[in-house]
Amino acid sequence: MIIAERKPFAEIKAAVAPFEKILIAGCGTCVAVCLVGGEKEVGLLASQLKLAFGQEGRQPKIGEITVERQCDREFIQPLSDTVADYDAVISTACGAGVQFLAELPEMKPVFPALNTTFIGVNEEAGYYTERCRACHQCYLGVTGGICPQTMCPKALLNGPCGGNIQGKCEVNPENACAWCEIYAKLEREGRLGQIEPILPLHPYGRSVTPGKVIHPAYKRRYVVHE
Amino acid sequence: MEYTRQLLEECGLGAERLAMYEIPASEAPKWVAAVNEMTEKAKALGPNPLNPRWGREAVVPEEQLELAVQR
- Closest Cα in chain B to A10: B10
Contacts of residue B7 in chain A, CB cutoff 8 Å? 9, 44, 48
Residue A41 in any domain: the answer is: yes
Residues from chain A contacting residue B50 (CB–CB below 8 Å): 51, 54-55
Mean pLDDT of A135-156: 95
Q: According to the model, what pLDDT value does residue A151 have?
A: 96
pLDDT above 60: residue B53: no
Exposure string over B16-51, b if 16+ CB within 10 A, otherwise e: eeeeeeeeeeeeeeeeeebeeeeeeeeeeeeebeee
Residues A17, A93, single domain; the answer is: yes
Note whether B10 contacts A10, CB cutoff 8 Å.
Answer: yes
Q: Quote the mean pLDDT of chain B.
A: 82
> For residues A218 and B5, what is the distance between their CA atoms, to the nearest angstrom?
51
Q: How far is A57 from chain B (nearest CA, A)?
A: 9
Chain B CB contacts of A10 below 8 Å:
10
pLDDT surpassing 70 at residue B63: no
Is A126 domain-assigned?
Answer: no
* Most distant pair of Cα atoms in chain A: their distance: 70
In a 3-state reduction of DSSP, which class is residue A84? helix
Min Cα–Cα distance to chain B from A58, Å? 11
Residues of B near A (CB-CB distance < 8 A)? 7, 10-13, 49-50
Residues A114 and A149 in one domain: no
User: What pLDDT was estimated at residue B64?
Assistant: 61
Asked which of A60-64, A189-193, B12-16 is least confident by mean pLDDT, the reply is B12-16
Together in a domain, A108 and A171 = no
- Domain end, chosen from A63, A86, A118, is at A118
- A180: in domain: yes
Among residues A27, A209, A210, which one has the least CA distance to residue A101?
Answer: A27
Structural domain total, chain A: 2
**Cα-Cα end-to-end distance for chain B:** 39
| Inter-helix orientation angle A39-54/A9-16, to 10° | 70
Tell me whether residue A124 is in a domain.
no
Average confidence (pLDDT) over A133-145: 94
Interface test with B, best of A35, A48, A59 (most B CBs within 10 A): A48
Closest partner residue to B12 (CB to CB) among A8, A47, A55 is A55
Question: Of the candidates B7, B10, B49, which has its C-beta nearest A55's C-beta?
Answer: B49
Do A36 and A107 share a domain, yes or no? yes
Closest Cβ opposite residue A48 in set B11, B49, B50 = B11
Residues A64 and A165 in one domain: no
Please report whether residue A104 resides in a domain. yes
Mean pLDDT, rounded, of chain A: 94
Domain spans of chain B, in order of start: 2-70
Claim to verify: residue A157 and residue A83 sit in the same structural domain: no
**pLDDT value at B67 more than 80:** no
**Structure pTM?**
0.85
Asked whether residue A98 falls in the same domain as residue A193, the answer is no
The enclosing H or E element of B22 equals none
| A109: containing domain | 2-118
Residues A44 and A74 in one domain: yes
pLDDT band at residue A226 using 50, 70 and 90 as cut-offs: low
A143 and A102 share one domain: no
Q: What percent of chain B has pLDDT over 90?
A: 52
Return the higher-pLDDT residue of A66 and B58.
A66
**Is 60 exceeded by the pLDDT of residue B59?**
no
Q: What is the pLDDT of residue B47?
A: 82
**A94 located within any domain:** yes
Of A52, A83, A118, which residue constitutes the final position of a domain?
A118
Q: Would A56 be classed as within a structural domain?
A: yes
- To the nearest whole Å, the CA of B31 is away from the closest chain A CA by 30
Nearest CA in chain A to B12: A52
Chain B touched by A55 (CB under 8 Å): yes
Q: What are phi and psi of A28, to 5 degrees?
A: -90, 15
When pLDDT is cut at 50, 70 and 90, the band that residue A129 belongs to is very high
pLDDT of residue A223: 82
pLDDT 10s digits, A83-127: 999 999 999 999 999 999 999 999 999 999 999 999 999 999 999
Q: Residue A207's pLDDT is what? A: 85
Do the chains contact at B11 and A52, CB–CB below 8 Å? yes
Are A166 and A193 part of one and the same domain?
Answer: yes
Both A111 and A48 in one domain: the answer is: yes
Q: Dump pLDDT digits (tens) for A47-91.
A: 999 999 998 989 999 999 999 999 999 999 999 999 999 999 999
Does B10 contact A54 at a Cβ distance shorter than 8 Å?
Answer: no
The per-residue pLDDT for A87 is 97
Q: What is the pLDDT of residue B60?
A: 56
Average pLDDT over residues B43-56: 73
Nearest-by-Cβ selection for A9 from B11, B49, B50: B11
| 0.95 surpassed by complex ipTM | no
Please determine, for residue A9, whether its predicted confidence score (pLDDT) is greater than 90: yes
Here the CATH number for the domain that contains residue A38 is 3.40.50.2300
CB burial class (10 A; 0-12, 13-18, 19+) of residue A55? middle
- Pair A223, A161 in one domain: yes
Residue A123 lies inside a defined structural domain of this protein: no
